[in-house]
Structure 1
């Protein structure tokens, strides 16, 4: 790496000596004793450090991060009565022999030749000798360039922020692994949506992916992209969404689901005809009343054919009359103008402008209607993949990836349990990588919120403070977050996240601060 040879060892380690390596170092943990005075007062967990074994030339320097700072004193020990508990004034007069030990988790080897930095190896195999010196990182830009060299030169690295303490150390993320799916988890107020926004902006600007964002509340992403937002009320509902809409408006129990699901299929077939009649009608209000009557008759006839009693059929007719106004049917069913195919076309059109397509789900009356829209759009993506890759004769087929990333905001509402939407999301998680069909799921929780089959296929994870303490254990089941516990998470502030997984060039969890996003309005 001729470019890195411009830098000598002292460029990166500087002269700020922090401490030295103790006995029993390994490739996973290196114990360090910190010098008294300014070094032991100023060090913080998650700071980046460099270990240099100056007695053994040409050995690699170790880039690592500090964890588990321990303040120790040989006399004032826990679980031992020291004799001054009855004399509070004595604490100021006794001589204290305080010292500080800390554990450093090695992240990578910085390769050295003839005093020059020549590369980086993220597989740490060298164990430093006791007495090796520990320095603060002097020039973080060198680390950024070394990490960038681990990413294929033909792609632009994604950068969402810098290291928590070393602001000049940007952590370049490998976009090749977007298709292996991304998870963003953290309690409310920790900045999940800001992180996702920065991530989305980087993806649409630096890669060939188009992005569709499903905004659950309409508050997290819609304000940032008003010119590329489509209300879900403009997107056609599928049969399940229609069924749930009528169940809610008619105030029906789960007992009627069988009738309504088949009714939704029938109404879905009739929607285009109804729209055409409304467009051509001289008296729109009168035509709308006729359509209302036909839908009522269809519901009654279908329920009758499925064995409903006469009083149930009459009840459905009365509910349609009193609870379902014709204008509501027009607005919620007939007024939707975009097909799912047109939504895909819009996403690719927005990609040309380096913007995501945002679907505002906040106006839908039920969660099931929101789920139907997400499920229908995912199903449309799979149809596109099938048509482009399998309809031709075998000898004429060519590989055509879809190059789409779907962002599922508040994913606990869509990626858990059973049902059409969850199954569609799970299929993307399981099979999407082959077609460059990626997922970003953002949620406050994991346990009983994100299905295990979806979690198992998330290969890059950003996580901050969690709303449930048990969620850290859930993350450990599908991601390598060795060395991270609840005490580490408790030190994170808003916009600070650990990143672990395939997009992280270090492969080991490291704390980053997401770059600031300007507020809108």
Structure 2
């Protein structure tokens, strides 16, 4: 049974209030404690304690009082005028169906009670069969999740060591599986997921479509010497050669030579082009292929098609793409090839029931994308838009929320559920926005322990963020 801890002070509204604690309860009530307000104006209200404050009228700053004089002389002033407060953020009014928006002003002098370990306040958040982790400090309080919003996409934010990968590996991926989603994980470093799951495909095993291969080659050769010009006959010749020549599955040196020779033939046989222009194009081709080495061709000798990966995940339930053995542009090329296929399926109105977990999100969609990052950023935005209708859930992990260390703003706006762990100091401005809305101080977000996350957004049945944690079984 809940235990009385205090009463509501003057100045309460329908969405927030302040409780003055009974004597001694300041040692029992903590930041993020869940409480029940027995509103004298009618109804019971579920709320969370945030922003505690201890006040002693004898020790007011800014003026010299007897209490200050006592403290100055190393004596303890009277505690008769000492009291403790907590701000209360309202979750909602409790009713037969769970909770609903509280529309009645909370009456001053209403009693406030704290839930004990034996209570089950999570039941008020709905009857969902899915849950994630547990409420902070209460392993028995499983936090419910709204399944219908999983494909509205998920963001997991926190600095290195905050527990993002653990949360994803031990809570989010199992949740997705219980919800009926098959899971593809793009493991950027190859160490956070690949060692923990059986079905793994390495980067160099995957077949990348010819158009994406040409984009990759263009990235490392400054667009084949044409820089930002859209008209690029050399790129067109290389792409045609990639389509016409059977180059995959061969020795990389052989593949490179076959493509180079074919591209030369295409340029030389171009109708209506002056000889000096052809010479210029050939020079740019030769110069580009000094950079496009055998090693570069070796990156794209994979033969596993994206459709085979989708078939495999439908069979196994979880597939990890180990992206550790490759440079960034190669990783982006493989990601583009994989997601092009998923996009094509959705454009054909096929329901996927697949979750795509993207580790190190800013590598694909940084604050200011350049080169191939523009393609991957746009692709993620398109996948998010289509996924809401065709059962694709995007899960993105990122060390930062915004700015230079964070995700592209357009991508982040599509992540309608967020798990926010300990943040980077550069994200204090974002934290202040959260603090202004929900009484969560930036200092709290800067010092969250490992494995603690604020859960907010569409999947959360609570309209305000809840602090959750989890246990590794």
TM over 0.5: yes
- What's the TM-score, normalizing by structure 2? 0.85
Aligned length: 455
TM-superposed deviation, 1:451: 2.8
Other-structure match for 1:422: 377
Other-structure match for 2:417: 460
Q: Does 1:72 align with 2:73?
A: no
TM-superposed deviation, 1:301: 5.4
Q: Distance in 1 between matches of 2:307 and 2:297?
A: 22
Residue pairs, 1:186-201, within 5 angstroms:
186-201=158-173
Other-structure match for 2:460: 504
Other-structure match for 1:182: 154
Distance 1:186 1:290, change over 3 A: closer
CA contact (8 A) 2:418 2:456 kept: yes
Distance 1:434 1:316, change over 3 A: closer
CA contact (8 A) 1:48 1:166 kept: no
Q: 1:209 aligns with which of 181, 185, 199?
A: 181
Distance 1:371 1:263, change over 3 A: farther
Residue pairs, 1:139-154, within 5 angstroms:
139=117, 142-149=120-127, 151=128
Other-structure match for 1:347: 313
TM-superposed deviation, 1:135: 1.8
Q: Distance in 1 between matches of 2:434 and 2:331?
A: 27
Distance 1:88 1:414, change over 3 A: same
Residue pairs, 1:294-333, within 5 angstroms:
294-300=258-264, 310=279, 313=282, 317=286, 320=289, 326=294, 328=295, 331-333=298-300
Q: Does 1:358 align with 2:336?
A: no
Secondary structure of the residue aligned to 1:470 is helix
Q: Does 1:490 align with 2:450?
A: no
Other-structure match for 2:471: 515
Other-structure match for 1:392: none
Distance 1:260 1:197, change over 3 A: farther
CA contact (8 A) 2:132 2:175 kept: no
Other-structure match for 2:336: 375
Q: Does 1:22 align with 2:5?
A: no
Q: Distance in 2 between matches of 1:34 and 1:211?
A: 47
Q: Distance in 2 between matches of 1:212 and 1:379?
A: 14
Q: Distance in 2 between matches of 1:324 and 1:380?
A: 26
Q: Distance in 1 between matches of 2:335 and 2:377?
A: 9
CA contact (8 A) 1:122 1:506 kept: no
TM-superposed deviation, 1:483: 2.7
Q: Distance in 1 between matches of 2:343 and 2:123?
A: 39
Residues 350-390 of structure 1: per-residue CA shift (max 9 Å, x gap): 22xxxx2111122122x222222222222211222344x4x
Distance 1:253 1:323, change over 3 A: closer
Q: Distance in 2 between matches of 1:82 and 1:220?
A: 58
Other-structure match for 2:352: 402
TM-superposed deviation, 1:228: 1.3
Q: Distance in 2 between matches of 1:464 and 1:308?
A: 57
Residues 458-498 of structure 1: per-residue CA shift (max 9 Å, x gap): 2211112222212336779xxx9533331332352111111
TM-superposed deviation, 1:441: 1.4
Q: Distance in 1 between matches of 2:407 and 2:8?
A: 42
Residues 156-206 of structure 1: per-residue CA shift (max 9 Å, x gap): 31x221111333221111111011111111222111111222344333431
Q: Does 1:160 align with 2:127?
A: no
Q: 2:257 aligns with which of 262, 270, 293?
A: 293
TM-superposed deviation, 1:92: 1.9
Secondary structure of the residue aligned to 1:211 is strand
Q: Distance in 1 between matches of 2:340 and 2:16?
A: 47
CA contact (8 A) 2:201 2:320 kept: yes
Other-structure match for 2:86: 102
CA contact (8 A) 1:246 1:260 kept: no
Distance 1:21 1:88, change over 3 A: closer
Secondary structure of the residue aligned to 1:498 is strand
Q: Distance in 2 between matches of 1:506 and 1:407?
A: 24
Other-structure match for 1:127: 105
TM-superposed deviation, 1:315: 7.5
TM-superposed deviation, 1:110: 2.6
Point out where structure 1 has 5 or more consecutive residues left out of the alignment.
Answer: 1-10, 112-117, 279-284, 390-399
| More off after superposition, 118-127 vs 66-75 | 118-127
Secondary structure of the residue aligned to 1:44 is coil
Q: Distance in 1 between matches of 2:315 and 2:343?
A: 19
Distance 1:213 1:341, change over 3 A: same
Secondary structure of the residue aligned to 1:81 is coil
Secondary structure of the residue aligned to 1:342 is helix
- What's the TM-score, normalizing by structure 1? 0.78
CA contact (8 A) 2:242 2:259 kept: no
CA contact (8 A) 1:496 1:513 kept: yes
Residues 290-328 of structure 1: per-residue CA shift (max 9 Å, x gap): 5433223245556776976858845754774x76665x3
| More off after superposition, 231-240 vs 426-435 | 231-240
